[in-house]
Structure 1
Amino acid sequence: MRKIIHCDCDCFYASVEMRDDPNLRGRPLAVGGSSDRRGVISTCNYEARSYGVRSAMPTAHAKRLCPDLIVVPGNMKKYREVSAEIRQIFLDYSDRIEPLSLDEAYIDVTDSGHCDGSATRIAEQIRARVREQLGITISAGVAPNKFLAKIASDWRKPDGLTVIPPAAVEEFVLRLPVAKIHGVGRVTAEKMQRQGIRTCADLRNLSQVELAQRYGKFGNRLYQLCRGQDDRPVSVDSSRKSVSVERTFSEDLPGIADWEQQLPLLYGRLQERLEGLSARYQVSGAFVKVKYADFTTSTQERASHSSRISDFKQLLRQSWERRQGAIRLLGLGVKLKDLRTGEGPEQLLLPLELERKASAIEGLPQPSSSLTPGSSPGSEGGAG
């Protein structure tokens, strides 16, 4: 039985900025690009979120929602330094750490001798040390596997700790809303609810074959997750092969113009995800993914050492030429090469300044202000 802790910093970039400038505390704050240069929001604090401001939202739209919103430019060098300090604290308790981004990681403390082997007390100490030494807060989840630990860390955000001991897994999972399962987006959750499926207990009424028939390969995963099963180990050397973002739409997008209208928002979210990665990664390819109204999926990709929005626009048009029709999901992503392997020339992954996204987006239609960014199945963004 594993003991897994999932740590997730609370609105990480914004928390660091509020720490360094106390005048920003208690006021709606966002980190991102300026509205007059078509910037986007990277992350925001909870005061801003109460107005509906969200990650990857165009800054101009965010300012309309919250006229008093303070927007500061990002400082990735500073965020990476704070992230490295957090990791050093993690290493005091275990060397089995799987970072997901600058602000999020799994820690396997199964064999840790600290705190008499109590994962709960280790999580409490980690949170206290990060708060005292670095001046920011972390939410944490403790559970027997990665699936449940990640859900638990989000249960009492911000600055919360949720523990799911082995004896409580069954009761917790039975009551777990299906919308909390990573991979179940809003549209799928709504479809499930129309079918009377609201919790994992309802999902268990379907056989593995029935789940596979309804949801494809994801159905097999659902069969395990609704029973609280997840055998994935914490991967110490988790070299990423790709990074992607996607959005499921409440209404299908019928034509190529509608597809392209979503590019700036998704591109902004992808840039934010990439900025959270180590500089050891190099882009080696770009791809787009579309899921049609009949749930069939198509991926179009190309080799590339850049990730310009024009590359994704071209791939999107190739997807349209391959098959024309309404889509319910659109995703963008890049393939990565780990420079630690010594393969390929070193080059910067992406420009770090959020304002530079604006020039790459120039020339494409902006999403309607009535649309707000949908979450890709799972979390809101890499900055917590």
Structure 2
Amino acid sequence: MFGDEPMHILHCDLDAFFASVEQRDHPELKGKPVVIGAPPNSRGVVSTCSYEARQYGIRSAMPSSQAYRLCPQAVFLPPDMKRYQEESRKVFNILAEYTPVIEALSIDEAFLDLSGSHSIWGSSMAIGHHIRHRVKSELGLNISVGISTNKFLAKLATNLCKPDGIMEFTDQMVVDLLPTLSVDNLWGIGSVSAQRLNHSGIYTVQDLLDAPEQLITSLLGSNTGFILGLAKGIDNRPVTPYEETKSIGNEITFPKNVSDSLAIEQVLLRLSEKVAYRLRRAQLKSHTITVKLRTPDFHTLSRSKTCPTAVNDSRSIFDVARMLYQQSGQEGKPLRLVGLTAGRLQGSEYEQLSLFANSGPDISSVIDRLNQKYTSGTIIPASLLDNHERNQ
């Protein structure tokens, strides 16, 4: 099916990253259910949680109050993004020693193209073991690694071997294993899409391949061709480093529809932090911010705004994102997905200064340094103060 195509794509994913950093830095938390996010007496949501907490059914984007009901003994902690970003930088520095071709999916996840690395570092499996050993020995964190011929299969391998594992998804597995997996293992099929397929008698990847394409199209829409390709183990997307990126975005699909406006705004804030971090890491700024909202009936709305000057700080991105959400007509209505994308990217050094731009140092870096010196959250942008106070 794939001939002699090399296993040159690695997918690396830090295990329960935020919670693992907290457990590493606070040994008394090891083995305990740890929840990162809003406190349980607020209307906020869970950002992420440890594997111990996941055993109780706690998941990202779940209301913190629900997480508390599931596990009253859980330790709830506010996110310390500055610390997580610093640890992420250390991990990406390790990854960059093995290849310059790295596509960061988020603060804790990346694809690596090892096409030019084997003559120096050995096989992809050997490189994966090197990376896992170094991240563990140097940083005290676990990272799972998937290896295959393309991005989808490499990420699938990681999902199957987590936590703290390494796996190579071979050509033979495409023939023997992939067809037996449930359809929600395919990239782009979330819980709601999986339910729709299940209601039509489609449970496995093989069921999907055997079903009439017209039926699949009615259920999955414009993504049908791409998803059917994945079902056959085909994914032609290249690993795209930052310098080739035309936009940077993150999105989240909720396990259950969310209608609470404050919870949606908190998700937008979290996405703004992720996107801003990825922009700064790539030394890029964005002129256009886009918010994507998907309703329970799969209707997708996109709202965009072009900023007068390019931005890469979470405050500016969140201000625009919140405004777009409030003007979308969906405020207070149930949503199944929220996404945020920064487009029209440019290098930071090429920014045309606004007439009213500050001539002093970047306020984001100043705040980062002060929060690092004292306590995270000591200083927050005034534009986020209302949201912050409502979470106390």
Aligned to 1:343: 351
In 2, the alpha carbon distance for the partners of 1:273 and 1:350 equals 19
In the TM superposition, residue 278 of structure 1 has moved relative to its aligned partner by 4.8
Deviations 1:282-325 (A, max 9, x none): 4544434344566443322223462446x55653454439xx9x
SS of alignment partner, residue 144 of structure 2: strand
Structure 2 residue corresponding to 1:300, chosen from 293, 299, 303: 303
What is the aligned partner in structure 2 of residue 241 from structure 1? 247
1:182 aligned onto 2:187: yes
- Alpha-carbon spacing, 1:354–1:43, altered in 2? closer, same or farther (3 Å): farther
Structure 1 residues 122, 190: closer, same or farther in 2, change over 3 A?
same
CA 85–167 in structure 1, closer or farther in 2 if over 3 Å, else same: same
Relative distance call for 1:240 and 1:39 in structure 2 (3 A) is farther
Please show how residues 1-384 of structure 1 align to structure 2 within 5 Å. 1-2=5-6, 3-34=8-39, 40-113=45-118, 117-206=122-211, 211-236=216-241, 237-239=243-245, 241-247=247-253, 258=259, 260=261, 263-264=264-265, 266-271=267-272, 273-274=274-275, 276-279=277-280, 280-282=283-285, 284-291=287-294, 295-304=298-307, 306-308=316-318, 312=321, 314-316=323-325, 318-320=327-329, 329-336=336-343, 337-340=345-348, 342-345=350-353, 348=364, 359-361=385-387
CA shift in 2, pair 1:159/1:27, >3 Å: same
SS at match of 1:229: coil
Q: Provide the rounded CA distance (Å) in 2 between the counterparts of 1:341 and 1:208.
A: 48
1: distance between equivalents of 2:60 and 2:272? Answer: 11
Deviation, structure 1 residue 49? 2.0
Given that residues 153 and 161 in structure 1 are in contact (C-alpha distance below 8 angstroms), is that contact kept between their aligned partners in structure 2? yes
- Higher normalized contact order (CA 8 Å, seq sep 6+, divided by chain length): 1
| SS in structure 1 of the partner of residue 329 of structure 2 | helix
Range that drifts further, 273-282 or 92-101: 273-282
**Aligned partners of 1:19 and 1:135 also within 8 Å:** yes
Deviation track 1:330-363 (CA, whole Å, cap 9, x = no partner) reads 4242424444352245664998767969744379
In the alignment, what sits opposite 1:381? none
User: Offset of 1:94 from its aligned partner?
Assistant: 2.2
How many aligned positions are there?
357
C-alpha contact (below 8 Å) 1:42/1:56 kept by paired residues: yes
Residues 1:275 and 1:15: Cα distance change in structure 2 (over 3 Å)? farther
8 A contact 1:58–1:265 mirrored in 2: no
Post-superposition CA distance 1:115-153 (Å, at most 9, x none): 874212221221112111211111111111000101111
**2-structure distance, mates of 1:48, 1:122:** 31
- C-alpha change, 1:17 and 1:260, in structure 2 (3 Å) is closer
Structure-2 change in CA distance of 1:160 and 1:238 (3 Å): farther
Give the deviation of 1:178 after TM superposition: 0.8
**CA distance 1:174–1:354, change in 2 (3 Å):** farther
8 Å CA contact 1:11–1:45 kept in 2: the answer is yes
Give the Cα separation in 2 of the matches to 1:249 and 1:59. 14
SS of the residue aligned with 2:32?
A: coil
Taking a change above 3 Å as real, the CA distance of residues 81 and 242 of structure 1, as seen in their structure-2 partners, is: closer
Name the CA distance, whole Å, in 1 between partners of 2:261 and 2:342: 21
Give the CA deviation at 1:103: 1.4
Q: SS of 1:277's equivalent?
A: helix
- Please tell me whether the aligned partners of residues 15 and 136 of structure 1 are also in contact (alpha carbons under 8 angstroms): yes
Distance in structure 1 (CA, Å) of the matches to 2:367 and 2:223: 35
Task: Please list every run of 5 or more consecutive structure 2 residues that lacks an aligned counterpart in the other structure.
Answer: 354-361, 369-375
Q: TM-score with structure 2 length normalisation?
A: 0.76
Q: Is the 8 A contact 2:147 2:169 kept in 1?
A: yes
User: Cα–Cα, structure 1 residues 201 and 24, in superposed 2: closer, same or farther, change >3 Å?
Assistant: same
Give, in whole Å, the separation in 1 of the partners of 2:211 and 2:235. 19
Kindly indicate whether the alpha-carbon contact (under 8 Å) linking 1:39 and 1:354 is maintained by their aligned counterparts in 2: no
SS at match of 1:125: helix
The one-letter amino acid paired with 2:194 is A
Following superposition, the deviation at residue 206 of structure 1 comes to 3.9
- Secondary structure of the 1:320 match is coil
8 Å contact from structure 2 (residues 45, 61) kept in 1? yes
Structure 2: how far apart are the matches of 1:362 and 1:23? Answer: 27
CA contact (8 A) 1:14 1:30 kept: yes
**Unpaired segments ≥5 residues, structure 1:** 367-384
Residue 187 of structure 2 contacts residue 230 of structure 2 at CA under 8 Å; is this kept in 1?
Answer: no
Q: Closer, same or farther in 2 for the Cα pair 1:72/1:250, shift >3 Å?
A: closer
CA shift for structure 1 position 327:
6.8
